Structure 1
Amino acid sequence: MADLKLCVWNVEWMNDLFGSNDLPPAFRPDAEKPAHASGSTVKKRRDDLAGVINDLAPDVVMVVEGPNRSGELQLFFDVDVQGDWLCHIQYSKGQAQNLGLAVRIDQGKFNDPPFKAFDTNNMLQFGEFFVDTDDDEIDEIYHFERRPLYAEINPLNGRNFSILGLHLKSKGIFDAFEWSKWWAVADANRRKILAQATQIRLQFLDPFLRDPGTQNHPLLVCGDINDGPGMDASEKRLFGSGVERLMGSIWEPALCLGNSLYDSMSAADRENLNFEAVRTTRFKDPIFNDVTHSAWIDHILYSKNTPQSWVTVGKVNERLPDDSLIWRKYRHASDHFPLTAVITT
């Protein structure tokens, strides 16, 4: 068996650090201000992103809001991050935020090649789809703005496992609207998250966990779901929650996914379904006087089709191994906290 450390992290607009897609992969000038972080510089963001990864020392990184090209992610890990890595970006047409995968290959933990990536642009499950999200007997058309990243990881000592990286539709509303319009946009965003989660569950997860060829194969589903446990005001009107749809139906317990952060909550919090202690992002609300909100929207989910627990020690890393606060030591990194878990196959 092999113990691998997984990191799942929304690195926040990494594409801002790189130059034009028409040129070979290259960083923007060190002193340039990133488009979405005017209070920082390209070099400060690079240093702080790499500092977090170096301190956490993962073996596998699922990158959310990565750059446009595999060569750009590879450049960052080659130049700024300790060790040797192999990187991959799942390209999504018209997007400046893409999902990426990085696997460390200099510590003898993986076979060659360390992973096989599948282009989800060629997978029908992740193309345009129809679903009735408002129970009016009319199917609406939806798509994935950011195509999921799908790969099979190939450890040296242990079973292969599959990983599905996700970045679902944002709930964020950053423009001022009249209240009825604001609620209409909020409801529409949540309908889209629910539609995307439903498509993944019905067209990918259920078949994967039922098919004799894959039903016993370990599977991770991780990333920024933009949704947490329970239902907010909009979701109550829709009678659905995105992350709970992904995790599965109580009527099909063999197909349900575990949640590593839930597993790591205290026994009392699990018993009382008290999720307040778990937060994976902090952000200021520009509509409501920059009030700071905290939310649990990033997740590490896993299949329960192995003889023993294989995803353990789920953690939101607000503090680093030296006990320093991540947002104080690396304040130019990201508004999301990195998640980690131990994978044993």
Structure 2
Amino acid sequence: MSNLKFVLWNMEWMNDLFAKDDRSAQFLPDGEKTTHSSATAKQRRDDLSGVLRELDPDLVVIVEGPSRQEELQLFFDNIGQGKWIADLQPSPGQTQNIGIAVRVDTGKFKNPALQRIETKDDFRFNPFLLDTDNDEIKEQHRFERRPLYVEIIPEHGAPFRVLGLHLKSKGLFDAYEWSKWWEMADANRKKILGQATHIHDKFIMPYLTDKETKNLPLIVCGDINDGPGLDACEKRLHGSGIERLMGTIWQPEQCLGNALFDALKPKEQKALDFSSIYTTRYKDPIFNNIYQKDWIDHILYSKSPLKNWVRNAKINRNMPDGKSISEKYKHSSDHYPVSVEVVTG
């Protein structure tokens, strides 16, 4: 049996830290400003690395990783703590990709510690047709960012698999005429709902029932760009992306658990009070730059064959010394790292 600290983190435009892809993997010069923030490349590298050193994870799933595996490896080679193996699922034409890094100098993993299963040519993640709004017309959907699919091989205990996701953003941060704004908001939610439904129907359900995989524990995690409940657009679609991804109440034995929900107090669970859970905080330009808080980063897990194997979920808004991550490492990310303890049987 192994106890592993598993961290999911949207590290926000990691590609900004590196030179152009027409040369070997290298960092931007220290003093150069990054494209998507006011910070320098060194400020962002230092703050991202500082968070990871303090959290001290065994395994990190990275959302908004760079465009190349070599760049992700270069970053983890230079965080100043441990020896890491990094891998990444590239997506054609994308500068935001999903990656993973495993610390291999602690004796907690076999060699190799992970095996990435290529999804570039996996038909389950190809463009697909789906009727998301019950009008009997199928719309074409696609995954802008190919999911990351890996098997993790601990030194002790059973291997498990991870599906890392970054679904379509629903954010609209430019000014539009209101009818156009609502049209685009509806379209983005259709995309999220379509992607989540397709992953559930074509990947998760077969995984949990096929004899080749049903006994391999599974974590599905990432930036889903959706939280529990239905907003105004989702009410018209009669569906929520995260709830569609987790499964249907009519097949409870095949529903995925949600680690952050498990960590709520019993009173909060009973009332479905999610107000204490938020994984990102941002200024909303549509509403006078009011800060909005959303729960969009999720760690889901299969409930069979292992029981209670993903536990102690936490949103790391503060560092171990009690200081706020947004103050101590203000150039790190607009998302908070989510950590869980993974207990392999």
TM-score range relative to shorter protein: over 0.9
Q: Deviations over 1:250-271 (max 9, x none)?
A: 0111110000000000111000
Match of 1:175 in 2: 174
Name the aligned partner's letter for residue 15 of structure 1: N
> Structure 1 length as normaliser, TM-score?
0.99
Q: Secondary structure at the match of 1:321?
A: coil
How far apart in 2 are the matches of 1:287 and 1:85?
41
Partner residue, 1:29: 29
Specify the SS of the correspondent of 2:162: strand
Partner of 1:157: 156
Q: Deviations over 1:65-115 (max 9, x none)?
A: 000001000000001241000001100111110000000000000000000
Runs of 5+ consecutive residues of structure 2 not aligned to the other structure: none
Contact conserved, 2:160 with 2:218, CA < 8 A, in 1?
A: yes
TM (normalized to structure 2)?
A: 0.99
Secondary structure at 2:140 match in 1: strand
Identity of aligned residues (%): 56
**Residue 15 of structure 1 pairs with residue 15 of structure 2:** yes
Whole-Å separation in 2 of the counterparts to 1:162 and 1:251: 25
Distance 1:148 1:330 in 2: 28
Runs of 4+ in 1 over 2 A off after TM superposition: none
Q: How does 1:1-345 map to 2 (within 5 A)?
A: 1-38=1-38, 40-345=39-344
One-letter amino acid of the structure 2 residue matched with residue 299 of structure 1: H
CA distance in 2 between partners of 1:307 and 1:92 (Å): 32
Q: Counterpart of 1:182 in 2: which secondary structure?
A: helix
SS in structure 2 opposite 1:162?
strand
Q: How far off is 1:308 after superposition?
A: 2.4
Secondary structure of 1:153's aligned partner: strand
Compute the displacement of 1:306 (Å): 2.4
| SS across alignment from 1:50 | helix
Q: Partners in 1 of 2:249 and 2:85 — Cα distance?
A: 38
Alpha-carbon contact 1:53-1:81 (below 8 Å) kept: no
How far, CA to CA, are the matches of 2:27 and 2:153 in structure 1?
30
Name the SS for the 2:282 alignment partner.
strand
How many residue pairs get matched? 344
Question: Which SS does the other structure have where 2:63 is aligned?
Answer: strand
Q: Is the 8 A contact 1:130 1:140 kept in 2?
A: yes
Q: Which amino acid aligns with 2:259?
A: S
Structure 1, unaligned stretches of length 5 or more?
none
Residues 53 and 79 in structure 2, CA contact (< 8 A), matched pair in contact too: no
Kept in 1, the 8 Å contact 2:91–2:146? The answer is yes
- Give the secondary-structure state (helix, strand or coil) at the position aligned to 1:103: strand
Q: Is the 8 A contact 1:131 1:139 kept in 2?
A: yes
Over 3 Å counting, the alpha-carbon distance change for 1:45 and 1:307 in structure 2 is closer
Q: Is the 8 A contact 1:77 1:85 kept in 2?
A: yes
**Residues 259 and 301, structure 1, Cα contact 8 Å, conserved in 2:** yes
- Backbone CA RMSD of aligned residues: 0.7
Distance 2:18 2:52 in 1: 19
Please give the alpha-carbon distance, in whole angstroms, between the structure 1 residues aligned to 2:246 and 2:225: 14
Contact 1:48 1:330 in 2 (8 A): yes
- 1:307 Cα deviation from its structure 2 partner: 4.0
Matched position secondary structure for 1:108: coil
1:122 alignment partner, SS class: coil
The one-letter amino acid paired with 2:75 is F
| AA partner of residue 111 (structure 2) | D
Q: Which amino acid aligns with 1:249?
A: T
For residues 241 and 259 of structure 1, what CA distance do their matches in structure 2 show?
15
1:138 Cα shift? 1.2
